[in-house]
Every structure is written in C-alpha cells, then in structure tokens.
C-alpha cells in the first residue's frame, strides 16, 4: 500500500477520526487534531472529505463496516445455536470496547451529542441501529422456530429492544469505564427473553 | 420575585442552560447563548457560576432536583402497587421528554458527550444514575416481598438494569423524536421482570 498514498491517507484519517470522535465527541475534535493524529496534510483531508460533517459521517460508515464484519462473523455459523450467535455478536462488540478502554459506542456518543440539532446525524445513526436490529432479528426468529424463544416472541421488536438496551448499557460502561453493565444487561435480557 | 433579581437570574440561567444543553450539548452551547436566552448580563453569570463547567454541573443538579421531585411524587403513594409506582416515575419522566419535544435525557446526553474526556462529568452522571436506581430498588424490593416479582429478584440489580435500559431507549427516542421506544422498553422490561 506504500505506493498508494491517497487511500492510505484516507484510512489513516478515518482511523484517527474514529478514535478521537469516540473519546472527545464531535465538537471536542477539530480537523487539525485529526491531521496531527494521522500525520496527514490538510490538503489530503479536503481531497477525501468535503468538510467536518462529511468526515464524521464517513467515520460512522467506517465504524459500521466493522459492525457489519462482526455481524457476519458471529451470525454466519449456523452450527452455533441462534441465541449464542447473537450473544457472540455482542461479545465481539464488547471486545472492541475493551480495546478502546470502554469508551462505549460511537453511535450512541455522536447520536446523543448531535441529534438534538442535526437531523442528518439523527437519521443516519437511527438507521444504523435499525440495521443492526434487522440483522439480529433473523437469528432471533430462528431461535423462536426451534423453541429457544417463546412462540409469542416478536423477533424484530425483541431485536430492537436489545439494541436499545445495549446502547444504554454502553453509556453506563463509558461512564464507569467498566464492562460489567454490558454483561449484566445481556444476562438479564437473555434470561428474560427466553421466559414465556 | 421581581425584587429578588439575583436568585431570579440564577434560575433563569439554569432554565436556559437546561434547555440549551439538552438540545445542543455542552460544546454546542456558548455562555453568550445562555445569556441571550435568559436575558441576563454576563456579570450575573459569573456571580453565580465559576465557569462553564461549574454552570453545567449546576444545571445537572437542577435537572436532578426535578428527578428527585418525580421520584418523591411517584413513589410516595403506598396505596399504589409498587411496580405501578415505578412505572409512574417513568411516566412522569416521559412527560418531561414530551414537553421538550423528545430530546431524551440530559444525563445521557452530557454523559455521552463528556465522559470520554471529563472524569468530573463521568462520575457525577454515573452517581445520578446510581441514585435513581437506589430509589427505584426500594419499591422493587417491596414488589418482591408482596409477590409481584419472583423471589429470586435482586432489586438493586434490577433497578440498575432498568435505569440503564431506559437511557438506551431515551437515546432512541431522541434520535427518532418518538416516544415509542420508551414505552416499548418499559413494556418489555416489566413483562420480563415479572417472569420467574
């Protein structure tokens, strides 16, 4: 990749943006801090991104590419029972949080900070959470058909609750820099969901 | 109150701060915007608040005074079954969200935005959420003793999960400007909690 400086610079900018936006939030990060952290000149930033908003939206896309990967990896193995696949997904996500020092979820962070004033970010992030719930609804539906969830379960509604509750647990984990709220929420949720 | 200009100014500043911080976040609000919205001169701001951080922390205190009031009102009436008292509390909170146009919870908003860089805000907001859970644990404990919750219920842990999940639902409600995630989370939670 050394002879492809522009894609490499774009990736470095996105990587730095992901780390900085997660830690400091949108308004807490200036473009200069991203340039400094990624050792990238300003011209390169504006070659790849229209402005800071465009940059942050592309950072969200990059974050979601990671989420897609985690969904694909954890949900693909149909030899694993469906509820374990769903927990496996959150295990991968929590592993990512651990690497960041338990700073929580970029979607929740930017969603809280920006959605009061920016319909663009509100809709984008709401769409990301809906996408994750849609993907999780499939194994939850399968769990219902094999009897691991009660017949009355609405898989889409259950997946939506799960994602929403996870975001709350991620906030709490961020506040306390502690993985316990994540694990305890999942324990409660899966215990609860499997009861009639 | 017209002849008590200083306390009135402090209250006006806190009211404006609550509205502005909820909508725009900490970094999205300058002191000048608070002065403009509250029709208050700058000298008055610095008479009451050391700086913007001190102001925001006092806005959180004012927000929590409202939460304390909602807890007192909803939990006091012991003629109401304990789980209904707990739901009543969230009903009052959701009523507040409705008045704001479903902008979610100030604790979640500032918690997400600031806790990556500010241990002061992280600890304060984590403490606020713990306080709410402590208060809710009492009626949940009572619900267990009268058989409305399974004997295996850990009231404190259940209250903590409830507050955490509520924060996630509040984020989702803020993203979509819709009360549905709040109601659906509570429906799921209370249905789940009452099962063995």
* Close Cβ partners of A37 (under 8 Å, ≥ 6 residues apart): A16, A19, A20
Domains along chain B? 1-49 (1.10.10), 52-193 (1.10.357.10)
pLDDT of residue B7: 52
Distance from CA of B11 to the nearest CA of A (A): 23
Indicate the DSSP class of residue A100: T
Contact criterion met (CB < 8 Å) for A157 and B196: no
Residue of A nearest to B101 (CA): A116
Nearest by CB: A25 against B24, B116, B168? B116
Nearest in space to A108 (alpha carbons), one of A187, A193, A6, A26:
A26
What is the Cβ-side half-sphere exposure of residue A169, based on CA atoms within 13 angstroms? 23
> Minimal Cα–Cα distance from A149 to chain B, Å?
13
C-alpha span between A80 and A86 (Å, rounded): 10
CA distances from B6 to B21, B60, B109 (A): 22, 20, 29
How far is residue A1 CA from its own chain's centroid?
27
pLDDT exceeds cutoff 80 at A23: yes
Interface test with B, best of A165, A178, A187, A194 (most B CBs within 10 A): A165
Cβ of A176 within 8 Å of Cβ of B27? The answer is: no
Question: What is the least distance, in Å, from the CA of B42 to any CA of chain A?
Answer: 24
DSSP annotation of B141: H
Containing H/E element for B128? helix B119-145
Question: Could you read off the pLDDT of B155-171 as tens digits, one per residue?
Answer: 999 999 999 999 999 99
- CA B45-B48-B52 angle, 5° bins: 60
The crossing angle, in degrees rounded to 10, of helices B106-114 and A155-176 is 60
pLDDT in tens, B14-69: 999 999 999 999 999 999 999 999 999 999 999 999 999 999 999 999 999 999 99
Report the percent of chain A where pLDDT is more than 90. 93
Please state the rounded mean pLDDT for residues A153-175.
Answer: 98
pLDDT number for residue B69: 97
- With CA atoms as reference, the chain A residue closest to B188 would be A161
- Judged by CB atoms closer than 8 Å, whether chains meet at B22 and A188 is answered as no
Q: Which residues of B139-148 are buried (b: 16+ CB within 10 A; e: fewer)?
A: bbbbbbeeeb
pLDDT at B5 over 50: no
- Up-side HSE of residue A66: CA atoms within 13 Å toward CB? 18
pLDDT digits over B129-141, tens only? 999 999 999 999 9
Of A112, A117, A126, the CB nearest to B113: A112
Neighbouring CB atoms inside 10 A of B116's CB total 23
> What whole-number distance in Å separates Cα of residue B120 and Cα of residue B127?
11
Q: Do A126 and B161 touch (CB under 8 A)?
A: no
Instruction: Specify the pLDDT at position A7.
Output: 53
Q: Which pLDDT score, from 0 to 100, does residue B195 have?
A: 82
For A126-161, write each residue's pLDDT tens digit: 999 999 999 999 999 999 999 999 999 999 999 999
Query: What does the pLDDT average to over A16-44?
Result: 97
Residue to test with chain A: of B56, B119, B171, B182, most A Cβ within 10 A: B171
B contacts of A182 (beta carbons < 8 Å): none
CA distances from B135 to B29, B74, B131, B132, B151 (A): 32, 11, 6, 5, 20
pLDDT at B119: 98
Per-residue confidence (pLDDT) for residue A1, from 0 to 100: 47
Q: Closest residue of B to A167, CA-based?
A: B168
Task: Give the best residue of A116, A140, A186, A189 to mutate against chain B (max B CB count within 10 A).
Answer: A116
DSSP output for B63-118: HHHHHHHHHHHHHH-TTS-HHHHHHHHHHHHHHHHHHHTS---HHHHHHHHHTTT-
Cross-chain Cβ contact B122/A174 below 8 Å: yes
State the smallest CA–CA distance between residue B154 and chain A in angstroms.
11
Of A171, A181, A184, the CB nearest to B112: A171
A65-120 tens-digit pLDDT: 999 999 999 999 999 999 999 999 999 999 999 999 999 999 999 999 999 999 99
Dihedral sign of CA atoms B148, B151, B152, B153 in order: positive
Distance of CA A124 to the CA centre of its chain: 12
What average pLDDT does chain A have? 95
Which residue, B89, B75, B102, B86, is CA-closest to B179?
B102
| B181 with A164: Cβ contact below 8 A | yes
Residues B62-86 have pLDDT tens digits of 999 999 999 999 999 999 999 999 9
What's the confidence (pLDDT) of residue A195?
Answer: 82
Instruction: Please give, rounded to a whole number of angstroms, the shortest distance from the CA of A155 to a CA of chain B.
Output: 13
pLDDT of residue B6: 46
pLDDT at B98 over 50: yes
Least confident of A160-174, B2-16, B78-92: B2-16
Token pair, residue A45, equals 């930033």
pTM for this prediction: 0.95
């Amino acid at each position: 990749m050394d002879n492809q400086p522009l894609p490499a610079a774009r990736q470095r900018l996105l990587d730095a943006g992901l780390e900085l936006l997660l830690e400091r939030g949108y308004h807490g990060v200036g473009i200069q801090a991203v340039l400094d952290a990624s050792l990238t000149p300003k011209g390169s930033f504006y070659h790849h991104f229209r402005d800071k908003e465009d940059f942050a939206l592309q950072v969200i896309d990059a974050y979601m590419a990671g989420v897609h990967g985690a969904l694909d990896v954890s949900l693909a193995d149909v030899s694993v029972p469906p509820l374990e696949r769903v927990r496996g997904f959150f295990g991968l996500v929590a592993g990512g949080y651990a690497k960041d020092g338990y700073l929580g979820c970029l979607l929740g962070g930017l969603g809280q900070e920006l959605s009061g004033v920016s319909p663009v970010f509100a809709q984008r992030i709401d769409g990301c959470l809906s996408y994750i719930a849609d993907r999780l609804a499939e194994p939850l539906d399968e769990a219902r058909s094999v009897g691991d969830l009660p017949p009355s379960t609405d898989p889409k509604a259950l997946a939506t609750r799960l994602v929403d509750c996870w975001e709350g647990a991620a906030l709490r984990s961020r506040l306390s820099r502690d993985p316990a709220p994540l694990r305890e929420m999942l324990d409660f949720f899966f215990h609860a969901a499997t009861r009639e």
